[in-house]
């Protein structure tokens, strides 16, 4: 049902540098996950599965009010209940928190004021669920309601009450960035189009429910927390801060984690609440949230309004971009200022752009806080951009592929906003997607209601500047070698299903030329493993992979030296073969056990370290906010989506996806394919059916039935092609593979819908109701046009009769301007290519 | 709901071929009995009841959502969980295929997904792709896009019994 392909681009121009030396061992092999057997057999223990005996049960009382002043909390009756061991409020915390050090305005339990329905206010720990729930019912909240705002426009309106001090107009962050002469760029353009699009808020929907277990040892004043986090290190720092504890008294462990997608890339309130309950109760507390509470914890992709204007030469060359983005960020900061900066930064680095103006507004509202979600900050903007390119291609009579090719950059390349592109596989991605999908033969020739659409996208391989700028290396790996000849990789990198522990094993096995079975991974236990910033911004393969590469090289150096001592030759004479090493040109050799014995003889148990940091030239420019978007390596992707649209119901079926992804080098092609398929598919959910919804601030879709994640029944075959542009900085040339393909799906889909039925929605997701409304609207407009035409035909005829509809325009092979538009839809030209050169 | 007013009774449950008696509340859910009483944590909870399929187990070879099944309703029937599929140190063909074909990423939906697929293969040894899609339509996965899940089931079916 799906095929996967993989080729080197074979074009030296696609590579920044000559290919690094590569062995033929563990990397590049399709490798099942090293922890896969535990997962398929049910032996894998996730946080909720951990055996902690009779732990106390933690429960959270949440605000029923969207915005209000906390006048009083009467918990006396709850505290007095038998079996209740702790009742805590915001007063039990030492400090507020926030993942961005300069934007910490959230308390684990609300203090003084609540800002969204569902915000945690009080928490209890009790001997069992029934007692905990009874205690919650016995608590009386006295909250004086304040005016509440559920849209960015309401929150920004004059006279609106600020949710946070000093945040006039509820603007959390305003971004103004200008690169190049935008106005001149528009003057130089042959075609300028501007569009508005509104994007619904979406959520991560990882299948594992949120859970945490915290054990407090009063005698030692120590805390151990197991949680579902993607960022154990940030959680560690945050627990110390909000609990007012010395970080050395805290241990954070990440067990198996059932998906993240960004929901868990910042420390979350329930983790802090569980820890505080454990301390207050002097014992072990287990908290498992409901699915509904997962939606309230949220941190999803914000509802976003985008106004985008692009200027273009007749040839398709982009002369100017002017983009305004408004994000409804919810009640607290979270990653918000990063999200609004990403939206602007990643306008760049995919195409050559003449000039770019960006205005971004991150707005507070009385809703659950948004955060980082897969494709952080750049997904909606990429949709707006690629949709407008598609529309402009239609206007200019250019094929959408040709339009992209008219704007390619060549690595190495410095963008207008000082981002560094060192490898760029887009040409190869385009070539494969075009060919595999049969684009040239099929586009414009499919039956009515069927369409093809394409789009490109890109993403960072880790943020080049860490959130906490401590000056430390970006990634550290320790390798332990002991008497038994086993090698243990000690890493703080959070494997949340993407396969990072497998990748690190492959890298170490490759360098040392040893079988993977000799290598174990111990990950994410702050008492054992080196600090790692976490699994976000697709940083792990690139950064931790590079650290693992260097650690393995160091261990190899130590072992080769030991072998040379044992064999009484110089290290240069040793030929390293992993399980055995030999002296070049002789029959002298030693097996691995003998080399290990020699290596340990002097030093005992060996621990070596590998570190890696992003080079300064990849860390972005000097302007305010320049760090966001900066990365050591951009991934690139191009995809084609085929759809069929039922014009009687508005239902869209995705028939097939062809996705090409430039991952630099596929260390584990099996896992990379899985990541690309998952990313494309997650883009499909956002594009077709997923959206949160609130009524007066009340979440009304906080479950997996109403929040419509696609099922297997409606999920298409996704063919994946891996392009290997061999990034000069990536480990073995590798770059990210789990996010970049997401961004391209929504625009490729809506471009395909436009190809199928000639309608471009002004909103996402393209749900049947929205599409049907647009179809009906167009029919009404067509009838009105027909009536006007009938009246006009009675009068002297105009010089040129307008086609009755965009579809008719397509059918007759004419191009037409996107004149007809409404709030719901743009009835656009289908983007059908005319003969090459026809528009020039 | 006040749990202390709910009656309990001695329930004879056959789980993974082992029949044991447990004092179980009349309103106890099969999921809670499996996970908390029997310690079979391979069966997962991913939602607030009947939404996601992560808790799928087999009851007399039929796939059933343990989170909306009363334990008491399973008396005299054979319950099978993910832990039952790999015996004598060998993974089942579905487990092997999900592992080798990467039908699992984070792994949280995997036990339920495999149990639903197991039920399918027991009644239809060589299912079509459409039959696979139909049989697994109640099991949500957020990682894979389902592509490699379908490949895994096809691979297991092709491997025969």
pLDDT tens digits, one per residue of B2-56:
445 678 999 999 999 999 999 999 999 999 999 999 999 999 999 999 999 999 9
Number of H helices, E strands in chain A: 20, 34
Which residue has 């808790």 as its token pair? B55
Q: Can you give the pLDDT at residue A796?
A: 60
Nearest by CB to A711, which of B96, B102, B140? B140
| Interface contact flag, B107 A717, Cβ < 8 Å | no
Give yes or no for a contact between B65 and B119, defined as CB atoms under 8 angstroms apart.
no
Angle value at C-alpha A475, between A474 and A479, nearest 5 degrees: 160
In this structure, the number of other CB atoms found within 10 A of the CB of residue A83 comes to 15
Residue B36 to chain A, least CA–CA distance (Å): 9
Question: What is the structure's pLDDT at A103?
Answer: 79
Instruction: Report yes or no: B29 at the A interface, CB cutoff 8 Å.
Output: no
Q: How far is A447 from chain B (nearest CA, A)?
A: 24
Say what the pLDDT of residue B4 is: 55
Q: Which ranges of chain A have pLDDT less than 50?
A: 1-3, 7-21, 797-840
Q: Which of residues 5-24 of B touch A (CB under 8 A)?
A: none
Residue of chain A minimizing CA distance to B144: A678
Nearest to A833 by CA among A392, A435, A430, A406: A392
**CA quadruple A828, A832, A835, A836: dihedral, nearest 10:** 90
CA distance B64 to B68: 9
What is the pTM for the complete model shown? 0.93
CA distance A134 to A141: 15
Task: Identify the pLDDT of residue A815.
Answer: 34
Kindly identify which residue of chain A lies nearest to residue B130, measuring between CA atoms. Answer: A713
Tens of pLDDT, residue by residue over B46-55, are 999 999 999 9
ipTM confidence:
0.97
For B149, which residue in chain A has the nearest alpha carbon?
A712
Which residues touch A278 (CB under 8 Å, ≥6 apart)? A56, A125, A214, A215, A216, A223, A284, A285
Average pLDDT over residues B136-144: 98
Q: Is the Cβ of A352 closer than 8 Å to some Cβ of chain B?
A: no
Which pLDDT does position A836 carry in this prediction?
34
Residue B89 — very low, low, confident or very high, per pLDDT cuts 50/70/90?
A: confident
Q: Which of A69, A68, A56, A215 is nearest to A123 (CA)?
A: A56
Alpha carbon distance A447, A466 (integer Å): 50
Asked if A96 and A104 count as a contact pair (C-beta separation under 8 A), the reply is yes
């Amino acid at each position: 049902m799906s095929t996967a392909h993989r080729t080197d681009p074979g074009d030296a121009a696609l590579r920044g540098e000559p290919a690094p030396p590569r062995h033929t061992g563990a990397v590049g092999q399709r490798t099942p996950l090293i922890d896969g057997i535990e997962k398929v057999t049910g032996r894998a223990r996730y946080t909720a599965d951990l055996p902690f005996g009779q732990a106390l049960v933690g429960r959270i009382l949440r605000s029923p009010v969207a915005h209000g002043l906390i006048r009083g909390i009467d918990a006396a009756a709850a505290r007095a209940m038998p079996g209740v061991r702790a009742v805590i409020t915001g007063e039990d915390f030492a400090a507020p928190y926030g993942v961005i050090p300069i934007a910490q305005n959230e308390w684990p339990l609300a203090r003084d004021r609540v800002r969204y329905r569902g915000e945690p206010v009080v928490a209890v720990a009790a001997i069992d669920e029934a007692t905990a729930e009874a205690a919650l019912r016995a608590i009386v909240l006295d909250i004086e309601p304040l005016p509440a705002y559920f849209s960015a426009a309401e929150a920004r309106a004059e006279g609106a009450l600020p949710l946070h001090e000093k945040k006039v107009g509820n603007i959390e962050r305003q971004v103004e960035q200008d690169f190049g002469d935008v106005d001149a760029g528009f003057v130089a353009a042959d075609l300028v189009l501007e569009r508005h699009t509104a994007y619904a808020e979406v959520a991560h929907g990882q299948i594992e429910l949120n859970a945490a277990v915290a054990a407090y040892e009063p005698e030692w004043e120590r805390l151990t927390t197991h949680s579902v986090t993607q960022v154990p290190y940030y959680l560690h720092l945050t627990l110390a801060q909000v609990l007012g504890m010395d970080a050395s008294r805290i241990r954070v462990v990440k067990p198996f984690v059932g998906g993240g997608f960004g929901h868990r890339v910042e420390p979350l309130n329930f983790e802090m609440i569980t820890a505080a309950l454990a301390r207050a109760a002097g014992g072990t507390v287990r908290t498992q949230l409901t699915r509904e509470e997962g939606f309230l914890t949220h941190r999803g992709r914000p509802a976003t309004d985008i106004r985008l204007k692009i200027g273009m030469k007749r040839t398709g060359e982009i002369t100017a971009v002017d983009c305004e983005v408004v994000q409804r960020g919810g009640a607290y900061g979270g990653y918000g200022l990063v999200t609004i900066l990403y939206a602007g930064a990643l306008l760049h680095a995919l195409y050559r752009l003449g000039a770019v103006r960006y205005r971004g507004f991150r707005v507070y509202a009385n809703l659950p806080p948004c955060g980082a979600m897969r494709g952080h900050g750049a997904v909606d903007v990429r949709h707006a951009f690629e949709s407008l390119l598609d529309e402009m291609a239609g206007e200019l009579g250019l094929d959408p592929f040709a339009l992209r090719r008219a704007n390619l950059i060549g690595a190495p390349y410095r963008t207008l906003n000082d981002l560094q592109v060192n490898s760029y596989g887009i040409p190869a991605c385009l070539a494969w997607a075009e060919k595999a999908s049969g684009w040239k033969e099929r586009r414009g020739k499919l039956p009515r209601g069927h369409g093809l659409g394409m789009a490109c996208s890109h993403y960072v391989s880790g943020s080049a500047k860490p959130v906490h700028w401590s000056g430390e290396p970006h990634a550290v790996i320790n390798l332990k070698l002991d008497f038994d000849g086993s090698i243990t990789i000690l890493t703080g990198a959070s494997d949340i299903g993407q396969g990072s522990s497998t990748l690190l094993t492959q890298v170490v096995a490759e360098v040392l030329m040893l079988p993977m079975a000799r290598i174990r991974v111990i990950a994410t236990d702050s008492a054992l493993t080196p600090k790692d910033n976490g699994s976000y911004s697709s940083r792990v393969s690139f950064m931790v992979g590079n650290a693992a590469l260097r650690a393995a090289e160091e261990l190899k150096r130590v072992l080769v030296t030991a072998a040379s001592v044992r064999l009484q030759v110089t290290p240069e004479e040793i030929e390293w073969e992993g399980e055995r090493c030999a002296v070049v040109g002789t029959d002298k050799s030693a097996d691995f056990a003998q080399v290990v014995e020699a290596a340990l003889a002097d030093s005992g148990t060996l621990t070596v370290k590998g570190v890696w940091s992003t080079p300064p030239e990849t860390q972005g420019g000097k302007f305010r906010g320049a760090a966001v978007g900066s990365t050591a390596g951009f991934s690139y992707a191009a995809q084609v989506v085929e759809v069929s649209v039922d014009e009687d119901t508005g239902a869209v079926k995705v028939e097939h996806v062809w996705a090409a992804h430039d991952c630099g080098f596929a260390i584990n092609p099996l896992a990379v394919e899985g990541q690309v398929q998952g990313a494309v598919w997650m883009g499909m959910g956002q594009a077709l059916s997923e959206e949160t919804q609130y009524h007066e601030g009340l979440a009304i879709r906080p479950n997996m039935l109403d929040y419509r994640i696609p099922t297997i029944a409606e999920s298409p075959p996704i063919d994946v092609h891996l392009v290997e542009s061999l990034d000069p900085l990536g480990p073995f040339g590798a770059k990210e593979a789990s996010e970049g393909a997401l961004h391209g799906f929504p625009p490729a889909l809506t471009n395909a819908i436009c190809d199928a039925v000639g309608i471009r929605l002004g909103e996402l997701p393209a749900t049947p109701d929205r599409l049907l409304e647009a179809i009906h609207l167009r029919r009404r407009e067509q009838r009105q046009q027909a009536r006007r035409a009938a009246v006009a035909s009675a009068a002297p005829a105009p010089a040129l009769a307008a086609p009755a509809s965009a579809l008719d325009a397509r059918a007759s092979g004419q191009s037409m301007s996107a004149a007809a538009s409404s709030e719901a839809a743009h009835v656009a030209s289908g983007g059908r290519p005319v003969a090459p050169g026809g528009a020039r | 709901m006040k749990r202390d007013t709910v009656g309990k009774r001695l329930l004879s449950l056959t789980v993974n071929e082992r029949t044991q008696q447990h004092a179980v509340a009349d309103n106890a859910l099969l999921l809670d009995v499996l996970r908390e009483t029997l310690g079979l944590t391979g069966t997962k909870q991913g939602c607030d009841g009947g939404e996601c399929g992560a808790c799928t187990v087999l009851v007399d070879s039929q796939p059933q959502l343990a989170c909306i099944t009363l334990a008491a309703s399973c008396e005299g029937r054979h319950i099978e969980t993910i832990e039952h599929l790999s015996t004598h140190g060998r993974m089942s063909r579905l487990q092997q295929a999900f592992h080798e074909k990467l039908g699992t990423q984070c792994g949280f939906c995997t036990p339920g997904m495999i149990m639903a697929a197991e039920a399918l293969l027991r009644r239809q040894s060589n299912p079509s792709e459409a039959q696979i899609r139909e049989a697994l339509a109640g099991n949500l996965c957020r990682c894979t896009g389902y592509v490699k899940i379908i490949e895994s089931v096809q691979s297991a079916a092709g491997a025969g019994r």
